[in-house]
């Protein structure tokens, strides 16, 4: 077997390594006993397996056979100790002056009022293709709020956020943190499913995000976790790629915000789970949840 790597293979390896570098993964090893060409091939095929953590076990092993029952919000168990004081956190992204900073908190607001104000919303074009509005779900006094992008097919059918494949993974992530879904609040940037699961468009985000803002203000969590670029870009009002500020503590309307990868992205790229788990451990530390050293199963 030739020990030369073809140009095409070299390019594939370079692309793949660039992809992992974007995820913050820079350490790879090579089995020295294996001929170069097949090592290169193996790296392409198995590098993710070598480095990814098993904190959120693979779907095949853990998905329940039956659909999860929708959770009814219940009064909150408080999570952990008081968080350390939040110092002003500089946003390491260049932003236009935030649209949201000028929007004031609505006095005496409640999730119920917000839901009533949303009504049978027809404010944007998404209303014409949706089945159910997916307002949000969970503990109205949660210390931790997860914000996703927008409902998919399962969410649209059930009217609940994150109940499909990505939702199952999010549930595993929450449980790996030592919490349950009913302890946290889960919502999305847009409340209606974009057709074909496309990204929500600017006008749709613009129309819907004031409701999200009110939800966050009302719940008043210690920490907001943005799941994916759409949530992060919307709340932080930035066009920067999420990999530039993922896992960093930022400030959003006086609260701590951290952006991490979307569970749907993790389904496509399991190696990135280890990065997300590191991010969630930071969140656990702030919420006073026990961070289990070396937990990886
Ligand atoms: N993806 C999201 O961003 N939100 C959901 O509710 C489900 C999938």
Check whether residue 38 and residue 116 sit in a common domain: no
What per-residue confidence (pLDDT) applies to 98? 56
Q: How many domains does the chain have?
A: 2
Check whether residue 120 and residue 266 sit in a common domain: yes
Check whether residue 39 and residue 123 sit in a common domain: no
* Ligand 1 pocket, residue 186 CB under 6 Å: no
Q: Which of 261, 258, 264 is nearest to 285 (CA)?
A: 258
- The answer to whether 95 and 233 have CB atoms below 8 angstroms apart is no
Kindly state whether residue 148 falls inside one of the protein's structural domains: yes
Kindly state whether residue 208 falls inside one of the protein's structural domains: yes
Query: What does the alpha-carbon distance between residue 208 and residue 126 come to, in Å, rounded to a whole number?
Result: 10
- The answer to whether 58 and 263 have CB atoms below 8 angstroms apart is no
Check whether residue 165 and residue 281 sit in a common domain: yes
Kindly state whether residue 283 falls inside one of the protein's structural domains: yes
Kindly state whether residue 58 falls inside one of the protein's structural domains: no
**From 164, 204, 229, mutation site for ligand 1 pocket: most ligand atoms within 8 A of C-beta:** 164
What is the CATH classification number for the domain harbouring 185?
3.40.470.10
Ligand 1, atom 7: nearest CA belongs to which residue? 162
Check whether residue 147 and residue 23 sit in a common domain: no
**From 155, 189, 266, mutation site for ligand 1 pocket: most ligand atoms within 8 A of C-beta:** 155
Kindly state whether residue 180 falls inside one of the protein's structural domains: yes
What per-residue confidence (pLDDT) applies to 7? 78
226 burial (CB, 10 Å; 0-12 / 13-18 / 19+) is buried
Among candidate residues 18, 33, 52, the one where a domain is terminated: 52
Kindly state whether residue 2 falls inside one of the protein's structural domains: no
Kindly state whether residue 62 falls inside one of the protein's structural domains: no
Q: How far from 275 is each of 100, 171, 237, 282, CA to CA, in Å? A: 29, 17, 23, 11
Kindly state whether residue 296 falls inside one of the protein's structural domains: no
What per-residue confidence (pLDDT) applies to 263? 98
Tens digits of pLDDT across the chain (297 residues): 445 777 778 776 765 555 444 434 445 544 444 444 343 333 333 223 223 345 565 543 333 333 333 333 333 333 444 444 333 444 544 444 455 667 788 999 999 999 999 999 999 999 999 999 999 999 999 999 999 999 999 999 999 999 999 999 999 999 999 999 999 999 999 999 999 999 999 999 999 999 999 999 999 999 999 999 999 999 999 999 999 999 999 999 999 999 999 999 999 999 999 999 999 999 999 999 998 765 543
Check whether residue 161 and residue 15 sit in a common domain: no
Check whether residue 123 and residue 270 sit in a common domain: yes
Ligand 1 center from residue 58 Cα (angstroms):
19
Q: Which domain holds residue 29?
A: 8-52
Query: What does the alpha-carbon distance between residue 7 and residue 125 come to, in Å, rounded to a whole number?
Result: 48
Check whether residue 42 and residue 117 sit in a common domain: no
Check whether residue 177 and residue 46 sit in a common domain: no
Among candidate residues 18, 34, 52, the one where a domain is terminated: 52
Ligand 1 center from residue 285 Cα (angstroms):
25
* Ligand 1 pocket, residue 156 CB under 6 Å: no
Check whether residue 175 and residue 281 sit in a common domain: yes
pTM of the model: 0.71
């Amino acid at each position: 077997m030739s020990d030369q790597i073809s140009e095409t293979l070299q390019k594939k390896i370079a692309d793949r390594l660039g992809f992992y570098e974007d995820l913050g993964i820079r350490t790879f090893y090579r089995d020295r006993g294996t001929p170069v060409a097949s090592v290169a091939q193996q790296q392409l095929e198995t590098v993710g397996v070598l480095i990814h953590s098993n904190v959120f076990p693979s779907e095949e092993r853990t998905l329940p056979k039956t659909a999860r029952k929708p959770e009814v919000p219940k009064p909150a168990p408080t999570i952990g100790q008081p968080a350390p004081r939040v110092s002003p956190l500089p946003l390491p992204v260049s932003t236009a002056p935030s649209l949201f900073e000028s929007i004031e908190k609505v006095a005496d607001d409640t999730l119920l009022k917000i839901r009533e104000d949303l009504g049978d919303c027809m404010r944007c074009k998404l209303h014409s293709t949706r089945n159910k509005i997916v307002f949000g779900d969970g503990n109205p006094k949660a210390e931790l709020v997860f914000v996703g992008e927008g409902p998919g097919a399962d969410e649209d059918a059930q009217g609940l956020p994150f109940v499909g494949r990505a939702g199952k993974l999010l549930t595993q992530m929450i449980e790996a943190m030592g919490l349950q879904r009913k302890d946290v609040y889960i919502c999305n940037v847009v409340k209606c499913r974009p057709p074909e699961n496309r990204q929500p468009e600017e006008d749709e985000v613009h129309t819907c995000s004031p409701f999200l803002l009110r939800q966050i203000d009302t719940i008043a969590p210690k920490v907001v976790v943005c799941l994916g670029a759409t949530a992060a870009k919307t709340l932080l009002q930035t066009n920067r790629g999420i990999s530039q500020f993922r896992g960093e503590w930022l400030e959003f309307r006086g609260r701590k915000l951290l952006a991490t990868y979307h569970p749907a992205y993790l389904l496509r790229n399991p190696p990135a789970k280890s990065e997300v788990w590191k991010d969630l451990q930071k969140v656990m530390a702030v919420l006073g949840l026990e961070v289990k050293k070396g937990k990886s199963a």
